[in-house]
Structure 1
Amino acid sequence: MHISAQVPQTVKRVLAFAAHPDDIDFGAAGTIAAWTAAGAEVSYCIMTAGDAGGFEPGNREGITELRSSEQAAAAALVGVRDLHFLGERDGFLAVTDEVVGKAVALIRTVRPDVVLSMHPERNWDRIQASHPDHLACGEIVTRAVYPAAENPFAYPELAGQGLEAYKVPWLWFYGAPRERENHAVDISSTVDAKLAAIRVHASQHPDIDRMETAVRGMLAENGRRFSLPDGAPAEAFHVVGVNTDQTIAGF
């Protein structure tokens, strides 16, 4: 497979959405580390509280705080310090006008070159990538990007708060079904930062060594599928141009 998607040459601002703490690190932390190293400003939005995660039956009331602190520490390792937590119930994330509106507000605030999100389509080859919250995250963000964020008559209360309509240029999905992936990023220079970020989420990994081996294997397979040189590790994405030189508004 060869890289086929048109992609932005320069990325200055990114808004990355995830359903749970640790989703971004598995899906895109290597790419994010490369962007921040090049000077881009990246913000995270974690939609659920992560309250159904972990493996220990005790101290359930503290799991949200723990996972939020893990996410903040992992984000810092890849150069991200602007985090937003929506606090929706883990396992019950729903596509509602209210949550879409929160995503629209963040998009209009950050005004990113790239919105990064989980994918709204189920991956039947690896259903674990398609947790219902992941799918809901993808649908929420897709609706927020188009048409809501760019429609001046959608969520008029936001315009009243000074959050004017904004046209997102690029929407990048991670965790996509393999047949949708059309772009890969060589993360040879940032793979160690990615893995370090994943390891921070210790509450979610009963066997960290096995997890790291599995992730390295998936990254190597991505590199092979996209014909990157010398078995380079890669993160794969479904890249969608929303408002670019190649797109026409309304079509």
Structure 2
Amino acid sequence: MDTNPPIPTRAMVVYAHPDDPDFSIGGTAAAWSQAGAEVIYVLITSGNSGSHVEGMTKEHLAAIREEEQRAAARECGVHEVVFLRYDDGTLQPTLGLRKDLVRVMRKYRPDTVVCGDPIAFFYGNFYINHPDHRAAAVATLEAVFPAVSMPLAFPDLLAEGYEAHSVREVWVTDSTLKDTMVDISGTLANKIAALRQHKSQVEGWDPTEMVTAWAREEGEKAGLVAAEGFRRMILGREEKPPVSPAVGTPGDNPVPA
């Protein structure tokens, strides 16, 4: 378990809905920002279906939740928030979404991308993962590899000036295969403050107790007071492995001598 991972220069955090980044990576985003990293949030939807208030419209709710997310991001030192404005609740990992994510990745050129786990379907016996979360994760990973780095993928983007870019690392949240922990003992308060900004969703609920318990539980796995955990994928290395198969996992099909 790595408890002292490197801090990215520029990280792009991609999730389906407003408040997703704050639940998943708020403490880490604040820690990275405080260390001088540039962090960009990309929200694929504006959460325009997430209300049971009578008379609420999708347009009004989207405006509310976008402003809440901008305020929450500021609590974590994040000043760039991008909304792709797909419809909440109907997200699919389409080629159109992949292209939109390639565009934004080529525009901002992050060295690290953070997203959810596309295979996370159940959490214990009390929560079924939102389908938008899984779709967002699939689309993000498919944009990272290989589309964003291929000049001939979506050639109209290249014609618009969005040149190919290679993402060096992907950090996956909510994974059962965590190998990296970020100490958020100094930024847990930022995470909680960010979540409190989502007033349309928390409706007076104080996230302090639950979020603190989660952070302490993660921290215990690595001897930290409070942490957020990740599966860290290192795609770009100083030295390439001797065999880079086009299909499968390196080592699965070694090339005969």
How high is the TM-score relative to the length of structure 1? 0.90
Task: Assess if the C-alpha contact under 8 Å between 1:219 and 1:234 holds in 2.
Answer: yes
Quick one: structure 1 residues 54 and 102, their matched pair in 2 at CA, closer, same or farther if it must change by over 3 Å? same
Runs of at least 4 residues off by over 6 Å: none
More helix as a share of residues: 1
1:25 shift after superposition: 0.3
Question: 1-side partners of 2:98 and 2:244: how far apart?
Answer: 21
| Secondary structure at the counterpart of residue 186 of structure 2 | coil
* RMSD between superposed Cα atoms in Å: 1.9
CA offsets, 1:109-155, max 9 Å, x none? Answer: 11111111111112423464721000001100000000000111111
Counterpart in the other structure of 1:29: 26
Question: 2-side partners of 1:165 and 1:34: how far apart?
Answer: 29
1:190 to 176, 187, 190: 187
- How do 1:92-107 residues align onto structure 2 when only pairs under 5 Å count? 92-107=90-105
Task: Assess if the C-alpha contact under 8 Å between 2:112 and 2:170 holds in 1.
Answer: yes
Counterpart in the other structure of 2:44: 47
| Secondary structure at the counterpart of residue 14 of structure 1 | strand
State the AA in 1 paired with 2:88. Answer: D
1:158 shift after superposition: 1.0
Counterpart in the other structure of 2:152: 153
Quick one: structure 1 residues 119 and 10, their matched pair in 2 at CA, closer, same or farther if it must change by over 3 Å? same
1:67 shift after superposition: 0.4
Question: 1-side partners of 2:128 and 2:13: how far apart?
Answer: 17
Counterpart in the other structure of 1:74: 72
- Report which stretch shifted further, 83-92 or 199-208: 199-208
| Secondary structure at the counterpart of residue 208 of structure 1 | coil
Task: Assess if the C-alpha contact under 8 Å between 1:45 and 1:84 holds in 2.
Answer: yes
Question: 2-side partners of 1:164 and 1:40: how far apart?
Answer: 23
**How many correspondences in the alignment?**
242
State the AA in 1 paired with 2:43. Answer: I
1:121 to 102, 114, 119: 119
Question: 2-side partners of 1:247 and 1:237: how far apart?
Answer: 23
1:38 shift after superposition: 1.2
How high is the TM-score relative to the length of structure 2? 0.88
- How do 1:205-244 residues align onto structure 2 when only pairs under 5 Å count? 205-209=202-206, 211-228=207-224, 232-244=225-237
1:59 shift after superposition: 2.2
Gaps of 5+ in 2: 246-257
Question: 1-side partners of 2:23 and 2:239: how far apart?
Answer: 30
Answer with 1 or 2: which has the greater Rg. Answer: 2
CA offsets, 1:81-126, max 9 Å, x none? Answer: 1111111111111111111001001111111111111111124234
